Chain A
Amino acid sequence: MDEHPTPETLVAYHAGELPADEQEALRDHLTLCHDCADLLLDLVSFAEFTPPEQAPILVDSEVEGAWQRFQPRLVGREEPEERKEALREEKPAPAVAQIGERRRRDMKHDESELAVVNWPRKVWTARAIAATLFLGVIALSLWTGALYQRLGESLRPHSSVPIDLVPEDNATRGPEDESESTVPPNAETFSISLRLDSSWKEFGTYEAEIFNAGAIKPSAIISGLLNREGVCFFDVPSRRDFPPGRYLVDLYGIEGGRREKVARFKFQIAAPQ
């Protein structure tokens, strides 16, 4: 191998990926070529993440300083000094220079035209900026208004009605207790408390599915519920999803990735009179 190996070849050699004859030839080259042998040792340093011996170590503040200087180059905000100088020395290409010269000659023939050519450009630029700003202000106002509306809705106190439910087969909840499981029609939202029997198996977390009686798909699924002193409590996310009617709540226990039905509850949402 008479030619010096590329860094890519050295990487392949170091990884043992070269054919046997190329590997032997490169070994002969590395025996005699100090520069290439040194470069291979540098590769070993990189692969082992070990700076060469006797190399100075930068302290953290120096590395951070290098990063601060590097960032503007990353986003192209700052040109290195050599490139700045190169840009300054750069002359326009001949074709462009000729076009520029022709335009200057043309413009000199008609001074008024020159004035017309130059002035509208500036005016249009200013008008474009003004129009953009105006539209931006309008868009911002609309967005802000919508934001305030949403904020207002969220901050306005809800008339939240707590519904305390017991399991469906609980004998103590009869028709005379139906008022305790009925959401009045004017309630903007409501919360549900599911009473857990102490004899039931305890789970790490629970999940509740709320069905309109007779529906197949749940109207809402509430996950991540916890047993708080025998009660699973949650706010119903949106009153809009619950028109007047009868509803069922199936409670599931979640443990080790398995889901097990715990109990069924029922409630109703009264229709306006």
Chain B
Amino acid sequence: MEPHSTSPTSDPSSPSGESSGNRWVEQWQQGIDPEESFRQIFHQYYRLVFSFFVKKGFSAEECNDLAQETFLRVHKSLATFRRESRFETWLFQISANIYRNTLRAQSTRKRDAPEVSLTDVIDGPGGGGGGESDIVQDEGGGPLEDLLADERSRMLHEALQDLPSQMRRCVILRVDRDLKYREIADIMLVSIDTVKAHLFQARQLLKVRLADYFVDLNF
């Protein structure tokens, strides 16, 4: 496998904007060489589905199995796919549902696994030690530092709450998750310029409000 660094090798959209996946599906649904039509669908979208499961943290073998499961479901449901919507988003739904079902199954297996006492793990069977205080150790500064940190956090939280909702969301996504402008725009369904404008204005407002608590607000 090669690291991804360029845009996809084929553009699935025709000049008219129709999804080529929809065109192959139409052929399949009309019974025009269905095996070849589905082979084209498979070859065109397998990488996308495989990458989706890779990003979710599955091994290569698991990704292959899950991707094949996805296309198996696609094949079973293809007759019912309505071409008013795009094939890509329908394919996403199937992939995402398989992903969530897999997660649910894995969490069930974990839940049913034999329980082990955390104390046994850390101190050995039969206990020992002082309990939680031995596990959670405060390695930071003294009580004054903690108090100031709590105060800054509280002021930031209050200042954020006073921001307009969309502006606040953009700030949180930028600060908390370090998302790119493009990603924030995709999540919030706004343009990149709108995101930039929100962040710029938020920076100005928070600077005024929090100048005494923060030397520099950079996000």
Contact = CB atoms under 8 A, between A and B. Distances in A.
Interface stretch (A22-30, A146-154, A183-191, A202-210): A22-30
Interface string B171-211: 01100010000010011110000000000000000000000
Nearest to A73: B72
Given A43-B89, A67-B39, A70-B42, A7 B97 contact: yes
A54 B55 CA distance: 9
A95 interface: no
Contacts of B86: 47
B37 to A, nearest CB: 13
Contact of A31 (B13, B43, B75, B172): B172
B219 interface: no
B67 to A, nearest CB: 7
A3 interface: no
Nearest to B3: A56
B5 to A, nearest CB: 8
30 contacts: A13-B189, A16-B189, A24-B165, A27-B165, A27-B169, A27-B189, A28-B165, A28-B169, A31-B168, A31-B173, A37-B173, A41-B186, A47-B88, A49-B48, A50-B7, A52-B4, A52-B51, A52-B55, A55-B4, A55-B55, A56-B2, A56-B54, A59-B2, A64-B43, A66-B64, A67-B46, A69-B68, A70-B42, A73-B68, A74-B38
A11 interface: yes
Interface string B56-86: 0000000011011001100100000000011
Interface residues of A, number: 49
Interface string B28-44: 00000000001100110
A50 to B, nearest CB: 6
